[in-house]
Structure 1
């Protein structure tokens, strides 16, 4: 199976500091990534066209980051059969709760997987796990990442035990 790309779409360029974490994580897995600014409200035709053509353009997953009303993930999901992962972005209004609720409350038939507020790194990992179902190299990289996380926690526990037992 050919390697699929991941689209990372943000509602505003002000979301880039959060979204950059997803881009960096995707690149660390060797996943080809395209990043765009599109708005569900200000550029709806472009967002819909991008999503409708994403599968044919080699994408396997779409990540959508938006704050406040946060309709971007739902609009993209409405126009594709690809998995869409929403990143609710923390805004000054309600600390991201508004975006979280807007992202998770999709109507039946329009699923959007949703990560934590500003949870860009987890969005990238979830995208990699989705693509890794059919890509053994990627699945191996994910296993390695989890083994590294385990080793770090065990190391921290060992240091804690040594500190407490002194």
Structure 2
């Protein structure tokens, strides 16, 4: 039960920490890579072959600007890919549209701009379909989240 986190530049590391936080919370093993679809395509392909051979079950990929990384990954593997558009220009809309508008038959699940936390949660949901212990943790997480929300808001808000 392993997930890969891939992003194109060291400058994206802070944004990608949300995904790692979720995976740690759910005790999912993961490995992180800084790879570029444009600058090191051979290394990206080599890494994807490794991930397939090692039975990784999901890839979380963050990218800004042209944001080709998640789509290139999806075109080279059948491991599910969750794309995170990173705000590098145009308020991240360029990245969002690049990732979400993949050609027919090469999908990339896409979360909100800079929202790596939700990418991690989506990966957990995918894993919960196969692993009962992850499903149970997710059910408990959601229950606890609802209970905290209700408790925090029972008294109303003082404006």
Q: Normalising to structure 1: TM-score of the pair?
A: 0.91
Q: Gapped runs of 5+ residues in structure 2?
A: none
1:47 aligned residue: 44
The one of 8, 32, 37 aligned to 1:35: 32
Question: 1:28-73 CA distances to partner (integer Å, 9 max, x unpaired)?
Answer: 1010000000001111111123224422212000000010100000
Q: Indicate yes or no: 2:91 matched with 1:95.
A: yes
Q: In 2, Cα distance between the equivalents of 1:113 and 1:48? A: 20
Q: In 1, Cα distance between the equivalents of 2:38 and 2:121? A: 28
2:67 aligned residue: 70
**Corresponding pairs, count:** 159
- Comparing 151-160 with 11-20, greater Cα deviation is found at 151-160
The one of 124, 143, 155 aligned to 1:147: 143
Q: Gapped runs of 5+ residues in structure 1?
A: none
1:101 counterpart SS class = helix
**Is the CA contact 1:54–1:80 (under 8 Å) kept in the aligned structure 2?**
no
1:124 aligned residue: 120
Structure 1 residue 152: deviation in Å?
1.6
Structure 1 residue 155: deviation in Å?
1.1
1:22 counterpart SS class = helix
Query: What is the root-mean-square deviation in Å for CA atoms of aligned residues?
Result: 1.4
2:98 counterpart SS class = helix
Instruction: Give 1 or 2 for the bigger CA radius of gyration.
Output: 1
1:26 aligned residue: 23
2:12 counterpart SS class = helix
Q: Normalising to structure 2: TM-score of the pair?
A: 0.95
Q: In 2, Cα distance between the equivalents of 1:153 and 1:24? A: 20
Q: In 1, Cα distance between the equivalents of 2:56 and 2:28? A: 11
1:137 aligned residue: 133
2:24 counterpart SS class = helix
2:56 aligned residue: 59
